Chains A and B, each alone.
Chain A
Amino acid sequence: MKFRAKIVDTACLNHFTRISNMIAKLAKTCTLRISPEKLNFILLDKVANGGVSMWCELEQENFFSEFQMEGISAENNEIYVELVSENLSRALKTTQNARALKIKLTNKHFPCLTVSVELFSVSSSSRIVTHDIPIKVIPRKLWKDLQEPTVPDSDVSIYLPVLKTMKSVVEKMKNISNHLVIEANLNGELNLKIETELVCVTTHFKDLGSPQLVSDSASQGRNVEQMAEVCIDIKKLLQFLAGQQVNPTKALCNIVNNRIVHFDLLLEDVSLQYFIPALS
């Protein structure tokens, strides 16, 4: 099992740092999956923790100038390790003034993902910061629990409004209620609703557009005004929204009536999927 990669381009480095910051906001610990073409940050949460799942995928060649890996075996050419996401984001925080970044799997006193950063310094000398992030190597037999979640057939698919706007709305709603109903239809309408004994608040978004063709749905005999809704934990939604520092290229929300809401984001060349299950 070997892994070694290098980033020299500043833009790639900043982008990678942003991704790791986002992951740290979304998941306390996560699984990093390394395969010859891709890197994945995975959170497949247990029901006990609220059942939130995350699947983040990036193409290694968009980031790394060098990338060598050797998995467990030739037919299972992958590596799965578990790490505390904040460690990675903290390690990458030191790259602000970096010349190059290297990431390696090492086994110093314990298995670790070693991030070493070569910094610019005033003098000609080089300064190197090395971070050894403790990891847990996940054995082959547990890999099957860490596969990409299947996206259930959604009742409604709709583009999200500007996430910052959404975040400021949800932030205020969080002060009033613990759960929130998110509902949408094929006519480009999305509502965020909270209800308590004293007050009901609904924020309406219009003309959001949908990737599903209205004509298709109509031909299937569906009513485009029909709302699909799901009631979720408001904190989980806010966590997802707070993790987004840059506005994504594409942001899609898929709702399966009363079951799950699935957010599908494209951040430049990185895809992020985030699943929040309905409250029972």
Chain B
Amino acid sequence: MKCLVTGGNVKVLGKAVHSLSRIGDELYLEPLEDGLSLRTVNSSRSAYACFLFAPLFFQQYQVATSNQDPVRCKILMKSFLSVFRSLVMLEKTVEKCCITLHGRSSRLVVQLHCKYGVRKIHNLSFQDCESLQAVFDPASCHHVLRAPAKVLGEAVQPFPLALAEVTLGITRGRRVILRSYQEDEAADSTIRAMVTEMSIGEEDFQQLQAQEGVAITFCLKELRGLLSFAESANLSLSIHFDEPGRPAIFTVEDSLLDGHFVLATLLEPDPQSQGLGSPQPHMPGPPLQASSTPPLDDFANDDMDSYMIAMETTVGIEGSRTLPSLSPGLRAPCSPGSNSEDDDNKDDPSTVPGTPPPKKFRSLFFGSILAPDHSPQGPSPVLAEDSEGEG
């Protein structure tokens, strides 16, 4: 594989790497016929990001030299990021950037051709890997929001950088709101964090296809990464989402590239479990103004599950196996329905996170193991055996 990036596109590539670096520690680089794909997934597998740069993005784009298998590789995000660390440097001094990957040499070579004939060559070691592919389909999502990245960038600006999650929703008067999400509602009021809510009129959106009352909660950090990319490229950002618990898909697109960020959203507790939870008195204060909406306030329950994005790593041809999880009718894999439906052979071990998941995700696994009537007779789905042979 060999590709050559010139001029302003070097910075675009650099920016994309920066936004990917907010998500995962490893970068999957894969030359495809329809472009170069850069992908990553976070350690708990609740966020996935992918950029596809079309062949036209490059001055020269060559997928594979003859009689070589198409090579793909996995590299440390840190080492790839260090090549593109300084965006100012990329903009001011780098004239072209050449990325080569050969099966024979076990190095990914990134050459930066700078002003005055300076050439920087980075030899990055890589690992062979399977293709990383999240299964998602923006078209299956019922709700779509689209706005210039600048509008959304301004909308997230009032939120502190330390804030983990935000809730995005549509309220009365078809206003779009973003609100800081607080996990622990029962905390003492003096140590409670400030709640910030941004309310934007429908007019600022290019597309708003969602009814009032819908809301999802997701991680803000990853979105900021994509937003800063989209803002610098002056693109519009589309948000495709469904009911809480289903992944939200954030996309940017132009003729030369597209980017997809798939983020898990928090699953709202059902009314039943809410009753069992902390009996926190719900005090509906007088609404400050029309934009503050009671329906969105209801996150009183701490015991919340989160949806995991179904991940698949294929050894053979991509997409030879279909994953069931994201078709519209099905629930999250942790829910009883999918457990009994998914036989062990469908439960690829790669869906099990490599690292201990954060606390919200943990309850998800324990829940499925402990619930007696949903546990299959055999090994619990989470502990499913290697299914490569059967698949």
Contact = CB atoms under 8 A, between A and B. Distances in A.
A133 B197 CA distance: 11
B195 A132 contact: yes
A99 interface: no
A109 B190 contact: no
Contacts of B289: 116, 128, 130
Contacts of B199: 127-130
Contacts of A280: none
A134 B288 contact: no
Contacts of A136: 189-190
Interface in A100-158: 104, 106-112, 114, 116, 121-136
Of listed B193, B202, B282, B285, residue having the most chain A CB within 10 A: B285
Interface stretch (A51-59, A86-94, A169-177): A86-94
B197 A109 contact: no
A82 interface: yes
Contacts of B198: 127-130
A116 B283 contact: no
Contacts of A90: 160, 194
A130 B292 contact: yes
Nearest to B202: A125
B200 A130 contact: no
B194 A132 contact: yes
A93 B300 CA distance: 28
A121 B289 CA distance: 19
Secondary structure of the A side of the interface? Answer: strand
A125 B200 contact: yes
Nearest to B294: A108
Of listed B189, B284, B286, residue having the most chain A CB within 10 A: B189
Given A107-B283, A130-B196, A135 B202 contact: no
Contact of B196 (A110, A124, A127, A129): A129
Contacts of B200: 121, 125, 127
A116 B179 CA distance: 13
Interface string B283-310: 1111011011000010010000000000
A134 B189 contact: yes
Secondary structure of the B side of the interface? Answer: loop
B203 A110 contact: no
Given A129-B197, A134-B190, A106 B288 contact: yes
B328 interface: no
A184 to B, nearest CB: 39
Contact of A108 (B157, B190, B201, B285): B285
A122 B155 CA distance: 13
B158 interface: yes
A136 B190 CA distance: 6
A135 B284 CA distance: 17
B288 A82 contact: no
Contacts of B282: 109
Contacts of A114: 288
Contact of B204 (A107, A112, A121, A128): A121
Contacts of A110: 189, 192, 283
A134 B187 CA distance: 11
Interface in A230-255: none
A134 B194 contact: yes
Interface string B172-210: 000000000000010001101111111111111000000
B204 A127 contact: yes
Contact of A109 (B154, B155, B285): B285
Contacts of A91: 194, 196
Contact of A87 (B194, B203, B288): B194
Given A128-B289, A128-B291, A123 B201 contact: yes
Nearest to A136: B190
B315 to A, nearest CB: 49
A110 B155 CA distance: 25
Nearest to A131: B196
A124 B202 CA distance: 11
A100 B216 CA distance: 29
Contact of A127 (B201, B285, B286, B300): B201
A82 B194 contact: no
A77 to B, nearest CB: 21
A131 B194 contact: yes
A107 B204 CA distance: 30
Contacts of A131: 158, 194-197
Interface string B380-391: 000000000000
Interface string B259-299: 00000000000000000000000111110110110000100
Contact of A133 (B194, B201, B286): B194
B13 to A, nearest CB: 29
A125 B196 contact: no
Interface in A72-99: 82, 84, 87, 90-91, 93-94
Interface in B106-158: 154-155, 157-158
A126 B282 CA distance: 30
Contact of A123 (B158, B204, B286, B292): B204
A153 B192 CA distance: 41
A106 B189 contact: no
B90 to A, nearest CB: 29
A33 B193 CA distance: 21
Contacts of A123: 201, 203-204
Given A107-B283, A108-B288, A111-B189, 4 more contacts: A126-B201, A128-B291, A132-B194, A132-B196
Shortest 6 CB-CB distances between A and B: which pairs? A125-B201, A125-B203, A108-B285, A132-B195, A134-B192, A107-B285
Interface of B: 154-155, 157-158, 160, 185, 189-190, 192-204, 282-286, 288-289, 291-292, 297, 300
8 contacts: A108-B284, A121-B200, A121-B201, A124-B203, A125-B200, A127-B199, A131-B194, A134-B192
